[in-house]
Amino acid sequence: MSARAWLVLAFLVSLNTLNFVDRTLPQAFIVDITSDLQLSYTEFTLIVGPAFAIIYALTGLFTGVLADRVHRPRLIALGVTIWSVMTMATGLARNWAQFAGARALVAVGESTLSPSALSMLSASFPKARHGVATSLYYLGISIGGGSAFLIAGTLGQQVGWRACFIILGGVGLVMALLCLAVADPRQKRSSDDRQPHKPAALMTSIQEALSAFTAYPALGWIWLAAVILTFSQGASVLDQAWLVREVGMASADAQILVGLVFTSGSITGSVLGGFLADWFAGKWAAGRLYYLALLVLLLAPAAVALRFAEPSSIAFVALLFFGSAGFTLGYGAIVPAILDLAPERLHGAVLGATLLGMALLGSATGNVFSGVLADTILSLGWSTPLRAAGLTTNLLALLALPCLALSASTYLRDRRRAGEAL
pLDDT at 280 over 90: yes
For the segment 303-361, what is each residue's pLDDT rounded down to a tens digit?
999 999 998 899 999 999 999 998 888 888 898 888 888 887 787 778 778 877 887 88
Q: How crowded is the C-beta side of 255, counted as CA atoms within 13 Å? A: 24
Closest C-alpha to 150, from 325, 11, 20: 20
Distance CA 395, CA 92 (A): 37
Closest C-alpha to 79, from 62, 98, 97: 62
Write the DSSP string, 324-347.
Answer: HHHHHHTHHHHHHHHHHTS-GGGH
Which of helix, strand or coil describes residue 126? coil
Cite the DSSP H helix spans in 154-286: 155-159, 161-179, 199-215, 217-232, 239-242, 251-283
Residue 92: per-residue pLDDT = 93
pLDDT, average across residues 140-149: 88
pLDDT, average across residues 282-293: 93
Q: What is the mean pLDDT of the chain?
A: 87
- Higher pLDDT among residues 294 and 207, named by residue: 294
pLDDT, average across residues 50-75: 81
Q: Contact, 367 vs 76, CB < 8 A?
A: no
Backbone angles phi and psi of 173, in degrees to 5: -65, -35
Q: How many CB atoms lie within 10 A of CB 163?
A: 13
Residue 421: per-residue pLDDT = 61
Query: Burial of 341 by CB count in 10 Å (0-12 exposed, 13-18 middle, 19+ buried)?
Result: buried
For the segment 64-83, what is each residue's pLDDT rounded down to a tens digit?
778 778 888 899 999 999 99
For the segment 96-124, what is each residue's pLDDT rounded down to a tens digit?
889 999 998 999 999 889 888 888 887 77
Domains of the chain and CATH, by start: 3-180+201-420 (1.20.1250.20)
pLDDT at 238 over 50: yes
For the segment 3-16, what is each residue's pLDDT rounded down to a tens digit?
888 888 889 999 99
pLDDT at 29 over 50: yes
pLDDT at 188 over 60: no
Distance CA 64, CA 272 (A): 27
Residue 208: per-residue pLDDT = 77
pTM above 0.85, yes or no: no
Residue 201: per-residue pLDDT = 58
